[in-house]
Structures are given as structure tokens and as C-alpha cells.
Structure 1
């Protein structure tokens, strides 16, 4: 299969002038200190529609004939591609129909409709919505706009690679979150054509990692199930076109845990002052997991910022826990007046903040004359958590940590 050429990506760049934002590449001081080399963030979360998807969608729809556009376009997405297609279709004067999973985040659903698309909710996954969108295309003659598996889409996403090379010519490693492979394949096509010694690394969520087994097998393999907060990269099977690009051009694929995704999102909020969705933070999660591993300067693509506020709340709590900022304990104390107060005083002296307390005498593991106190504490990090637990045990308390 012929790969997307550099000329094609340059043509896409000219086409997108005035349509997409030239997003900033910001130096991250905290990541630079962690790695000992400059680490920059490519902020596609600040792109129009909140993600990189507008680039590929616009190039793809612009490439249709007037007759094709008159029949409308149809797409399937968890949200970011939906918004990209909806806005691109609106700018190019054609009607968009979008199928989204029933659990699609409400802000993404509302935004897609606000760009003028007709939205249908179908199935529990993007793959199920994708199947329904293809049926709609067959029935109506609407042009199906695949979220990743088309050369025009890959060329559009590849313009990010051109921008990074212009903004940071000395870059040696680029990390990109990947689901279907359109973004990482496009970035790699641009970068390898200009600077072949620059490493391009894809990053997937562990619980939706279809690329490692597919690459090992030599062709796309379908995952039996996926469970991840990173809905934007939860793709069950790579495409044939993207597989050709990734297998040929991408240097490595890494996976990151749900805890790492949460920690990366929290880092973006706290230290970078950037709102990034879990899928958009996947590349940063890999940087946090592997300090010093990547030759620098390093560029990290933050691919999207469209996050449901309720999910954001959950992920922040999860990220605080993963970073050692929360500590849940069960402590046995004597069942007599003053015992609970003494325990709380001790914890306060250790600098931990008590968030809530549950006191119970009902437990089969308790000895006569004992009660168990369940505590949720706010702490200063993993070392502080260990200090609290160790000190309580040293003064005679029976302590168990809860996950």
C-alpha cells in the first residue's frame, strides 16, 4: 500500500490555512526537570472543536465532489471526530449525520449538534456506531467519513507533524496518543520524510491496546473488549490504511494504565493549567511513566480537551489517589472514651487532613473491646502516606490501607 506522501501533507497544510489554528508548542518546566531534557507540549486541546480531528475531517470532506457533498456526509465517533466532521461539513456547505455511542459524553453530544449535525445515538461502543453509520451511507448515498482509515484524514492529521518540526526543528522524540492510528500515522509520515532520525512513538491505554498484538500478528486484530476512561482512543481494531503507516513508520507503541492517564490529566490541570481529556493525556502519561527514557528535546501531543465535567471530577479523584494525595485507612482502636479523639489528634500532628470518618463496632475481625475506624485522608504525596501509616503502626495501632 502506498503511504501518504510529504507533498500530500503539504497540500493539506495549504488547504487548512485559515481553517485550523496553528496550536502552540509550550515548554513544560516540570517535565523538563523530570527528564533532564526539554519537553514540549503540542496543545491540540486548544484546536477548534477541542481536538486535532478537524484537520483530517476538513481535508477529507473538501476532497469530495460537489455532487458527493450534495448527498451529505455521515460519520461515527465518541465525540471528537463527530465535532470535526460537523464543523467541517458546515464550513463546506453540506449536511452531516453523526452516529455516537449511547454513552457519549454530553458536552461532546451538545457540541456536535451545535455545529449543525444530525446526531443519532446507537450501540455501546464506537465500533457499533461505526457499523450503523456505514449502513446509513449504503441506504442514503451519504459519503462515509471514516475517523482514521483514509489517506486524506491521515494527511490532515500529518500537518501537526509539520508544525512541530517548524516550531522545534531540533526535536528528537515525538509522543502521540493513538487509537485507530490516523494521528500517529500522519505525524510519522510527515516527520520521517523530513527528519528520519526523529523517533515517533504511539501511546495506547492498556485496557484498549489493539496495536501491540496487531503489530505482532502482522495485520489488524480486533480486541474482544475494552474498558478505559480514554474513550477517544478506545478503538477495537486498526484500519488497513493506518496499519500500513504505523507498521512502517512508527518506532514504538507503549501502553499506559488508567492510573497513569489520571495522573497525567491531573498534571495538565495542576501544573500546566490545561484542560485535557484522558485520551488527550495519553502521551503525557508515557512521559511520566518513563522519566529519562526518551531522547530530547521531546514533543508530546495533547490531542484533545473535550472532557465531560462529571468524568473530569472522577478522574481528578482517581489521579489524586494514584499520586498519593488521598489515603484510605482502617484502624483498630480500643472501644473506650477518648480513643477516636486520640487517633485524630495523632493524624493531625502528622500533617494529614481528615476528609471523613466512619466508626463501627460490627466486624467479624474485631476482638472484644475494639472498634474499627475507617478514614479518608488528604496527604502530600506517596512518601507522606507511608509516613502516616508507619508512625501509626509504631505507636501501636493496627492499620490496613484500602485501595
Structure 2
């Protein structure tokens, strides 16, 4: 675990991973595969013929669904005939063999001054220091390795991080990749997808409009449409980071970003089995509440807008087939304001030396929003992405 001492009296003199992203001096300790072996043993004893998933975990208490104040219900229940393959622990345990090691064993950051400010013990899993600057490479690597036929072309929609991951994983294995992004997409992410070789198409005013365009293009061109949050491999790849967390430290609570749901499905499945007493809290942006509304209600509730600085979790149209699974993978879903998100970004940058994009900070924002809930507890969260737009980076550095 890396102890960050940016504001300590006597900072340690050790190598800095990235001068741009690491203003603080930190001691470095990677989580070794041997740790995963011990956690894997814990997990396997819970399996029944390799099929156990979040659904088969212990019964958890859920608050009664609240009536949504915005959005509209659709005549689609979350249990549909298109239900995807559920996230499975045995596949999470095996996933690291198929994932490029540059995405594995990411650092875990702690800082005493940040703990004091948050009134809890924070363990932050830093997924920003890899070739695409986000956790998405874990799942896209696994998907490209296991789910694609030789030479199969893919089409997807992305706010940027998923598209980078899929482009890198697919193109390196000989698969053409077309990514649809909104006309308003973060230009840094769009440029990165292009550099990785993706054919970029800008369409629509937001992510879900781009997804509709991508789905139409795939149908018209006879290519495979790949939907983030729907394919099990994306969640199972993401679940490897939870094994790394639970294999190295005790956790009372895990706070997880909730966009399309792959991160929650993977982390939730893993934590349910290797740290079964830990509470799992999913976080959405208050300006993009569709996932919270839908999980609370047990059916899809679309919203007309997704208005938040956290573009990576700005979902208007949840995937109906995943909602029951996601509900089983968490104990609660909370929403945080953009003001809280930016406050969390500022604290993370100041104390941990990491410039995270808004979506990467929503876990810490949830701690700021409800400090009594987390006081004195060991809380794990994920700094899931570091691809800030130029405007947001300038704002953060000036704060």
C-alpha cells in the first residue's frame, strides 16, 4: 500500500510514477499475485459448481424503493429475455491471466491528513496510471481475449474511457473498432481513442444518443455491437481490482462508481465473496440519476437529461437486463452533487497527488456528503479515471 505524505512534515524520498500526476512523495508497495492467491482461496470456498454470482450471496437489506421525483417509467422490467451472462467469481479469479499486466496490481493510496478530513480510513485504488488512464482496460482486455471471433469487427459507444480500452484491446488483436461518441464528448478522450486506432464517429448530444447511433450503424454494417455494462467480461475484468483490494487490507465499506454498471457488477461480485461483511455503496451523480432511480424502482426509468460534470457516469437510459443483478451487488445507491464531486477532486489532488476526472472522485464525494455514515470505518474506493478535459484540468489546478 502506498502511504502518501504530500503534506507530512518529513516527506519520503522515493521515485514518482508520473511527475504530472504525482505531486506527493509516496512509499511504494505493490500488491503481489501471492496476495491474490490467498484471497482466491477465500473466494473459491463459496463457489457452488463455479456458478455463484451476486444473486447467490447472502441476503442483504435494501431500503424500500422510493418514488422517483423525475424521469419516466418504461414498460420494461429488469428481468428480460435478453438477460446477460451474470458476473461469476470463478471467472474473475481467472481473469488476470488474460489481461495485459500493465492494468493489474494498481497502487492503493492512503494519507493521514485526508483521513482526518474525511473522518474515516480511506484506501484509494488508483486506476489512472496505465496506458488509457482508467480501469476500463481490465474488462476490455478480457473481452477481446475471450469473446471475439478472429477478425470480428466491433462497434461501441463511449464517453471516452471504455472506447480507449476497447480500441486498444481489440486493435492489438486484429479487430477493427468503431467508436461513437457524443458531439460534446471530452476532446482529450476523443483524441486518445483516435491515437489508439479507433474509427471515431461523433453523433448526438450525449452518450445515450451516441449509443443509439452506434447500434444503428452496427446493424446496417453487419458488425458486432458491443455494449459497455452488458457483456460479462467487462464486469469480470473490473472485478480483478476488488480482489487486489480485498487481498491486501481489511475493508468495512466499498464505495463504487455507478455508470452503465460493469464496475459495480465486478466489484460487487468479488467483494460479496472475499469480504462478505463489507457494505457496498454505489454512487451516481445527482444530475444523472437514472441508474439510482431504476435500481430503486426495479425497472428502467429514463431521464430526459444527464447534466453533470461526471461524463463517465452520465447515463440517461439504463440497461434493463442488468438492473436486478446490480441491485444484488450493492446495499445502497446514493447520489452526489457536482459541487461535492469537485470538492472531492480537489482533496484527492491535494492529499494524494492524483488529478482524477470527476467520475473518479464520486466515491470520495459520497464520504463528504454523509460523514457520519463512514466515520471511523475502513473505506475503499476507486480512482477510476484520470482523463480530464482541458477546461476541467485548468479548473482543478487553479483550485
What's the TM-score once normalised by structure 2's chain length? 0.75
Matched, 1:251 2:334: no
Matched, 1:142 2:223: yes
Indicate if the aligned counterparts of 2:284 and 2:292 stay in contact, CA closer than 8 A: no
Matched, 1:10 2:10: no
Query: Could you tell me which residue of structure 1 aligns to residue 262 of structure 2?
Result: 182
Query: Which of the pair has more CA radius of gyration?
Result: 1
Residues 54-69 of structure 1: pairs in structure 2 closer than 5 A? 54-67=137-150
Q: Number of paired residues?
A: 315
The CA RMSD over aligned residues, in Å, is: 1.8
Indicate if the aligned counterparts of 1:34 and 1:292 stay in contact, CA closer than 8 A: no
Gaps of at least 5 residues in structure 1 are 321-403
Query: Could you tell me which residue of structure 2 aligns to residue 109 of structure 1?
Result: 190
**Higher RCO, Cα 8 Å, sep 6+:** 2
Measured against aligned partners, the alpha-carbon deviations of 1:279-331 in whole angstroms (never above 9, x if no partner) come to 111111111222242262111111100011212224566xx5xxxxxxxxxxx
Indicate if the aligned counterparts of 2:102 and 2:130 stay in contact, CA closer than 8 A: no
Q: For the residues of structure 2 that align with 1:17 and 1:85, how far apart are their CA atoms?
A: 13
Indicate if the aligned counterparts of 1:175 and 1:299 stay in contact, CA closer than 8 A: yes
Query: Could you tell me which residue of structure 2 aligns to residue 24 of structure 1?
Result: 107
Query: Could you tell me which residue of structure 2 aligns to residue 192 of structure 1?
Result: 272
Matched, 1:209 2:209: no
Matched, 1:81 2:162: yes
Indicate if the aligned counterparts of 1:23 and 1:43 stay in contact, CA closer than 8 A: yes
Q: For the residues of structure 2 that align with 1:54 and 1:272, how far apart are their CA atoms?
A: 22
Query: Could you tell me which residue of structure 2 aligns to residue 41 of structure 1?
Result: 124
Whose strand fraction is larger, Structure 1's or Structure 2's?
Answer: 1
Q: For the residues of structure 1 that align with 2:271 and 2:130, how far apart are their CA atoms?
A: 20
Gaps of at least 5 residues in structure 2 are 1-82
Whose helix fraction is larger, Structure 1's or Structure 2's?
Answer: 1
**Which of 120, 124, 127 is 2:208 aligned to?**
127
Please state whether the residue corresponding to 1:59 is helix, strand or coil. helix
Q: For the residues of structure 2 that align with 1:197 and 1:82, how far apart are their CA atoms?
A: 34
- Give the superposition deviation at 1:28: 2.5
Indicate if the aligned counterparts of 1:265 and 1:316 stay in contact, CA closer than 8 A: no
Query: Could you tell me which residue of structure 2 aligns to residue 302 of structure 1?
Result: 383
Please state whether the residue corresponding to 1:89 is helix, strand or coil. helix
Q: For the residues of structure 1 that align with 2:159 and 2:242, how far apart are their CA atoms?
A: 24
What's the TM-score once normalised by structure 1's chain length? 0.74
